[in-house]
Amino acid sequence: MNRLFILLGMVLLCIVLIAAVLAVQSRSSSMGAYTYVIGISQANQRDPWRLVLSKELQSEAAKHSNIRLVFTDAADDVEKQKADIKRLLASGVDLMIVSPCNAVALTQTVREAYRSVPIIVLDRVVDGYDYTLFIGPDNRLIGRQAGKAVLELAKTEEVKVLEISGSSASLVSQDRHAGFAEEMAQASQVELCTVYVEDGTRDGAEDLLLSLGPELADIDYIFAHTDYLGLGAFKAVTALGFDQIKLVSIDGFQIPDGGLDLLARGVLSATITCPTGGKEAIQYALDILHKKQGVPKQVILRNHTVTRESLGQYRQLLANDPLPVQQPIRVAHAQIADEGGWRSANKESIAQAAKDFGVSLTSIDASSLPEQIAVVRSFIADAFDIIVLSPIVESGWETVLRECKEAGIPVFLSDRKVEVSDDQLYYSFIGGDFIEEGRRAMRWVVSAIQPTLKPVRILEIQGTADASPTKERKQGFYEVLSLMKSYEVVASPNGDYNFTGGYEAVQGYGQGKEVWDIDVIYSHNDDMALGAVKALKEMGLNPGLDVLIVSIDGTSTALKALKQGTLNCVVECSPLFGPQLMKAIEDYMSGKDLPRRIITDEIVFTKDTQEHLFKRRQY
Ligand code: GYE
C-alpha cells in the first residue's frame, strides 16, 4: 500500500514539474530569456491622446524581445476597467500599466492589484500611494503655461478669452482650468469665459461653438484643453468667419491633425506639449521587473510651449539622437552645510554616484541664502556644464537663477524647491514628496493616540523657516489634522533641522512649566527629534512612552532609537538619490528630454515594520 502512495506521489510531482517547465517555456523568448507579460489597462482606445499612448507603448516594447504586451480597452467605463484589471491579474501578468478613465473611482482596484503585481499608473494619479510608480503630467502647470502663452501673444492689449474645457467632471480639466485662471488673474486686461465639451471630442467642440455663433464675434483668443478640441473650435470659427481669433491648445503631437501639424498649418498659434509617458513606462517597467534600485515613486513629465516660431527647434528636440557626452561633465553643487545624518548621507550618495558616472563634481556648502547665492555666482563665473542647487530656503532665487539661464547653465534642484515666478528658471527637481510625508506623520498620530476627554496636545518642531520641506511637511500634517477633532498643535518652534535646535525647542517649551503637558512631538526631521529625546530625558520624562515622537528622514540613528522605543514612528525621506541625479544629468547632456520632477519612493517605519526593511538601510 505504502509503495503505491509513494509511486502516486512521484507521478504527481513529475506532472507538476513538467507543467511548471512548460509554463516557463511558454514564457521563454526564442533566446531562452524569460518573457515578461505586461498588462495594459487603457481608459479608451478612442481619443487621439490615447491612440498615441498605445502606439508609444508598442514601439518601445518592440525594442525588447523579452516583453509581451496585453491590452484591454475600458471604453471610458470605470466598471469595465475594474473588471479588465482583475482579468489581467487573473491571467498572470508580471506587471500592469494602468491609464485610468476615472482615477479616484479606480483607486481601490489598483490598491488590491498592487498587492500582487507591480503597478505603473499613467497619466491620472489614483488617490494615495498604493502603486509602484506614477508617470504623468502636472496639469495645473500645463494650464499655467497655456496662460503664459496667451498673455505672451496678447502682449498688453485688452483681450477676451474663451476657454474650451473638456468634461466639467474631469480632474484633468479642472487642474488645467485652475492653472490657466491663475495666470489670467495676473493680467487685468483679460476677460475670461469658460465653456465645457462634456464628451471631449472635436465634433463636440465644433457643434458647441457653432451654437454660440455671433457671441464669438468679440473673442480674441481661444484656449482649448486639447488639440482636438482646438481643431473643432477652429472649424467652427472659420465657418462663422471669425478669422481674428487665435488658438492655443494642449498635447502637441507629431501626427496628422496633431498639435505640431496644426501649428504648421497655421490653425494654432501655440500648443503646450503633453507627452504620454508610454516610452518611460516601458523603460521603468523593465527596471522594476529586473528589481533595479532607485526606481522613483513619481515621474512628472516635462511640457514644452511650442509656437509657430519655435516649431522647428522643437521638432529637432524630438528627432534628436542622443549626443555624445563630452566627458567629464563638469557639475557644481551648491549644497547646504551639515545639519545632520540626512545631509551627510545625501552628500555621500551624490559624491559616490558622480564617481560611478565619471562626472567631475564640485560641491560647496553654505549655511545662509546670501552665501549660497554667492556660491552659485562663482559657479556661473567658472562656466560649469550643470549647476545642482539644494536651496536652503525657497524665496530669493529669482535673480541669480535668471543669471544662470542667461549664462546657458541649466539648474537641477536637489531635495528642496524654490519659489519663482517663472518655472522655466530651473530644469528639474529630484527629491521627496514632503506634503505626503507630513500627511503620513499625522495619520500615524491618529492611529497611535486617541483623544480622551482632553484633546491630544502636539508640539511641532519645525525645520528651517521658508525651506520647502518645512512648509510642505507642515501643510501635509495640518491637512490631516484639519480633518480630526480633538487634536491640537499647541506650539511650533523652529529647530533648524539640527540636533541642538530640537533640544532647545523642547527645553524652551518646558521652561517654567510645572507639569509637562504634551502628548506627541512631531519633528520635521530625525536630528531635531533626537535632540528632543535628550531634552525630555533631562526633564525626567520617558521619550516614546510619556511622550510619543514621530519624525521624518529615516537615518540609521533614528531607526536605532525607534527600535529602542525612544522614537515611535519615522517617516522616510530618502537622501540616496545620487544615482538618479547623475543619470538625469547624463541624459540631459545627451540631449534627452527629462521629466520635470522625479519624486523618490519612501515608506513609514514603526516598531512593527518588517526586519528586512530595516536591514536594507544604507544610511
Ligand atoms: O529632511 C532634513 C535636512 O531637504 C529633504 O533637509 C531635506 C531635509 C531633510 O535637513 O534632515
Which pTM does this prediction carry?
0.88
What's the pLDDT at 328?
A: 86
Residue 149: Cβ within 10 Å count = 23
Centre of ligand 1 to C-alpha 400, Å, is 23
| Cα-only R_g, the chain | 27
Pocket of ligand 1 (CB under 6 A): 339-340, 342-343, 415-416, 432, 469, 497, 525, 552-553, 573
d(CA 371, CA 468) in angstroms, rounded, equals 18
Nearest atom in ligand 1 to 468's CA: 4
Q: Whose CA is nearest to atom 8 of ligand 1?
A: 469
User: How large is the angle between the packed helices 526-538 and 499-510, nearest 10 degrees?
Assistant: 40
Alpha-helical segments (H) within 453-498: 468-481
What's the pLDDT at 25?
A: 55
Nearest atom in ligand 1 to 434's CA: 5
Averaged pLDDT, groups of 10, the chain, 619 residues long: 78 75 56 81 92 96 94 96 97 97 95 96 93 96 95 84 94 95 88 94 96 94 97 97 95 95 97 96 95 90 94 85 74 93 94 95 97 98 96 97 96 96 92 97 96 92 97 97 94 96 97 93 98 97 97 94 96 94 90 90 90 69
Q: For a pocket test of ligand 1, which of 333, 339, 551 has the largest count of ligand atoms closer than 8 A to its C-beta?
A: 339
d(CA 278, CA 253) in angstroms, rounded, equals 13
What's the pLDDT at 71?
A: 97
* Phi, psi (deg, nearest 5) at residue 500: -60, -40
**Closest to 191 measured CA to CA, from 166, 226, 224, 154:** 154
What's the pLDDT at 464?
A: 95
Strand order in the sheet with 456-461: 487-491, 456-461, 520-523, 548-553, 569-572, 604-606
The answer to whether 232 and 206 have CB atoms below 8 angstroms apart is yes
**Closest to 286 measured CA to CA, from 67, 526, 75, 137:** 67
Residue 475: Cβ within 10 Å count = 13
The answer to whether 439 and 510 have CB atoms below 8 angstroms apart is no
For residue 40 the three cell numbers come to: 495594459
Q: Whose CA is nearest to atom 10 of ligand 1?
A: 497
What's the pLDDT at 468?
A: 97
In three-state form (DSSP H/G/I as H, E/B as E, the rest C), the secondary structure along 152-171 is HHHCCCCEEEEEEECCCCCH
d(CA 296, CA 294) in angstroms, rounded, equals 6
Maximum alpha-carbon separation in the chain: 98
Nearest atom in ligand 1 to 339's CA: 10
The answer to whether 508 and 536 have CB atoms below 8 angstroms apart is no
What's the pLDDT at 518?
A: 97
**Closest to 212 measured CA to CA, from 181, 184, 243, 233:** 233
Centre of ligand 1 to C-alpha 470, Å, is 9
* Phi, psi (deg, nearest 5) at residue 269: -95, -25
Sorted by sequence, the CB contacts under 8 Å of residue 601 that are 6+ apart come out as: 133, 295, 296, 297, 574
Nearest atom in ligand 1 to 342's CA: 11
Centre of ligand 1 to C-alpha 469, Å, is 7
**Closest to 252 measured CA to CA, from 299, 165, 310:** 310
For residue 250 the three cell numbers come to: 494642449
Amino acid at 461: I
d(CA 474, CA 480) in angstroms, rounded, equals 10
Centre of ligand 1 to C-alpha 187, Å, is 37
Nearest atom in ligand 1 to 555's CA: 11
The answer to whether 559 and 264 have CB atoms below 8 angstroms apart is no
Centre of ligand 1 to C-alpha 343, Å, is 7
For residue 551 the three cell numbers come to: 519624525
Strand order in the sheet with 246-251: 190-196, 159-165, 221-224, 246-251, 270-273, 305-307
What's the pLDDT at 325?
A: 67
Nearest atom in ligand 1 to 525's CA: 11
Centre of ligand 1 to C-alpha 467, Å, is 9
Centre of ligand 1 to C-alpha 374, Å, is 22
Centre of ligand 1 to C-alpha 428, Å, is 18
Alpha-helical segments (H) within 290-433: 311-319, 341-357, 369-381, 398-406
